[in-house]
Structure 1
Amino acid sequence: MKTLLCATALAVAAAPAFAAESVTYETEQSFDDVVFGLEAAILGQGLVIDHVSHVGDMLERTREATGSDVVLFEGADIYSFCSATVSRQVMEADPMNIVHCPYHVFVMTRPDTPGVTTIGYRDFADGSMDPVEELLDTIAREAIGRE
């Protein structure tokens, strides 16, 4: 029993603590228009979109199977991409910044805020990840025409 408690304590102590804070911008543009703008902004930076996670579709598709009747999103996608230049910069400052790569920008619309589309990204602690935040902010603002 003592071994189990020690193992549990170590696992809890080793678990990463991530803040659920994000930087967001709201717009009256449609979900599709913001997604189009986001794709153009990422590509315009000379970056490649690694993956698009269709979180909203997955949650809606599995809603009934999970026993829920709550519709969370009308649309929700997360775009994953990386920048070799910015990644090298932040990882030379701290190799543990590898945990944050690739970088993500999300777009969502919710039934409780009709006519509003939100775009955003994870807010990192001040310091070595500042160049990533600058890149993500530039991309998010460009996507909705707030350069």
Structure 2
Amino acid sequence: MKALVLAAGLTMAASAALSDGIVTYTTDESFDDVVFGLENAILDQGLVVDGTSHVGEMLERTKADVGSDITVFLKADVYSFCSAKLSRKVMEVDPMNIRFCPYDIFVAQLPDSPDQTIIGYREFPEGEMKEVQALLDTIARSAIGMD
């Protein structure tokens, strides 16, 4: 019974969506909590964050420079990382899978829903890259306690 209640709570706390080639999960957790969860989930897989792009800050900082007054994100970061083992596996099948490396997961808050945080990644093509997508899904779900 406890497991059923916990599962129901997680379902209410986070919802998933797949559209336009991206997979997203929306949660009521704060941006900072999701980022903390993401960093830990990446490390828990034995991986290292190669870089963090502060997309939200960049768009906000440059909006006047490009003639805009629209705030796209309250906060938005993209975390890039790679798996040597998995990357080698998929690139041995097709060296052009290099185009997918490094792998990225984004975390964002939108102005119209400031009490929600979105975490997501791009969908990968059928075949060997679905194993990478499964890894990203595991990491994203773990970051928001859906593992």
2: distance between equivalents of 1:93 and 1:146? 31
1:114, CA displacement in angstroms?
2.3
Q: Secondary structure at the match of 2:72?
A: coil
Query: Which residue number corresponds to residue 63 of structure 1?
Result: 63
1:88, CA displacement in angstroms?
1.0
Query: Which residue number corresponds to residue 11 of structure 2?
Result: none
Query: Which residue number corresponds to residue 136 of structure 1?
Result: 136
Query: Which residue number corresponds to residue 35 of structure 1?
Result: 35
Q: Secondary structure at the match of 1:65?
A: coil
1:138, CA displacement in angstroms?
0.4
1: distance between equivalents of 2:85 and 2:108? 28
1:24, CA displacement in angstroms?
0.4
TM-score with structure 1 length normalisation?
A: 0.85
Percent sequence identity over aligned pairs: 62
Give CA-to-partner distance per residue, 1:91-116, whole Å, 9 cap, x none: 11111101110000000000012211
Query: Structure 1, unaligned stretches of length 5 or more?
Result: 1-18
Query: Structure 2, unaligned stretches of length 5 or more?
Result: 1-18
Give CA-to-partner distance per residue, 1:119-143, whole Å, 9 cap, x none: 0001011112011001100000000
User: What amino acid sits opposite 1:107 in the alignment?
Assistant: V
User: What amino acid sits opposite 2:119 in the alignment?
Assistant: I
2: distance between equivalents of 1:114 and 1:47? 30
TM-score with structure 2 length normalisation?
A: 0.85
Query: Which residue number corresponds to residue 26 of structure 1?
Result: 26
Q: Secondary structure at the match of 1:114?
A: coil
Q: Which has the larger radius of gyration?
A: 1
Q: Secondary structure at the match of 2:39?
A: helix
Q: Report 1:37-116 matches (<5 A).
A: 37-116=37-116
1:20, CA displacement in angstroms?
5.0
2: distance between equivalents of 1:79 and 1:88? 20
1: distance between equivalents of 2:48 and 2:128? 23
2: distance between equivalents of 1:29 and 1:120? 14
Give aligned pairs, total: 129
Moved over 6 A (4+): none
